[in-house]
């Protein structure tokens, strides 16, 4: 059935890619939209995305994965499930947009600790703003960002370049070009 990235582009084309007029999180309008949640919330999408992210983390000995709520939460969960299947030592966390107004009032929730090799995950990158915000919060808490794994690079607005200045390395699992090609 092809490589994992070809399979991912095919799943994203089928479940997540839409043409039309859409307002993006950045406030810009676009003639297409990629809603990764529509793919990650399928059994095949969860399995494949988790495995592909974990492949990238294993290459770099990453031990902690997280990202900005809510987009990163299913990605972190899929990756942790893949890690359990491989007996790979990995923990996860997520960054809140605002501190909790009860309990511990944390901005970072989950298994975060600053002594780990950290990767952030993001579903779609256009400008990179939300991942850059998450990175700043994680760095303020004492951890360096070793890797950012993006499921879809929209290939615009220099979002990937912006993220490259935030982390040791940035990797995209799929691009708009690959998804459009898979969509036919």
For 42, phi then psi, to 5°, come to -115, 155
More confident residue, 54 or 102: 54
Which segment, 28-32, 78-82, 128-132, is predicted with the most confidence on average?
78-82
Instruction: Kindly tell me if the per-residue pLDDT of 135 is higher than 90.
Output: yes
> What is the predicted pLDDT for the residue at 103?
62
Calculate mean pLDDT across residues 162-178: 93
Beta-ladder partners of 92? 65
pLDDT of residue 171: 97
Predicted local confidence at residue 1, as pLDDT: 47
- Assign domain 48-174 to a CATH class: alpha beta
Per-residue pLDDT tens for 80-128?
A: 999 999 999 999 999 998 776 666 668 999 999 988 899 999 999 988 9
> Mean pLDDT over all residues of the chain?
93
Burial of 179 (0-12, 13-18, 19+ CB in 10 A): buried
Residue of 2 and 43 predicted with greater confidence: 43
pLDDT greater than 80 at residue 43: yes
Question: Tens digits of per-residue pLDDT, 142-169?
Answer: 999 999 999 999 998 788 999 999 888 9
Instruction: Note whether 66 and 138 are within 8 A (CB).
Output: yes
β-strand partners of 66? 93, 120
DSSP code at position 64: E
The values of phi and psi at residue 125, to 5°, are -115, 125
Pair of tokens at residue 69: 């709520």
Return the residue matching tokens 């256009």. Answer: 126
């Amino acid at each position: 059935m092809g490589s994992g990235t070809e399979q991912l582009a095919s799943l994203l084309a089928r479940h997540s890619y839409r043409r039309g007029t859409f307002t993006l999180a950045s406030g810009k309008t676009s003639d297409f939209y990629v809603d990764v949640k529509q793919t990650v919330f399928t059994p095949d999408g969860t399995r494949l995305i988790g495995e592909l992210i974990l492949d990238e983390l294993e290459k770099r000995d990453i031990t902690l994965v997280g990202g900005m709520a809510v987009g990163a939460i299913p990605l972190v969960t899929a990756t942790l499930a893949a890690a359990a299947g491989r007996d790979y030592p990995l923990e996860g966390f997520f960054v809140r947009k605002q501190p909790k107004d009860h309990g511990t009032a944390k901005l970072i929730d989950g298994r975060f600790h600053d002594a780990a090799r950290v990767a952030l995950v993001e579903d779609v990158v256009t400008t990179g703003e939300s991942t850059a915000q998450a990175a700043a919060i994680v760095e303020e808490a004492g951890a360096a960002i070793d890797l950012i794994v993006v499921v879809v690079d929209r290939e615009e607005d220099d979002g990937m370049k912006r993220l490259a200045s935030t982390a040791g390395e940035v990797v995209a699992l799929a691009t708009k070009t690959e998804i459009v090609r898979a969509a036919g």
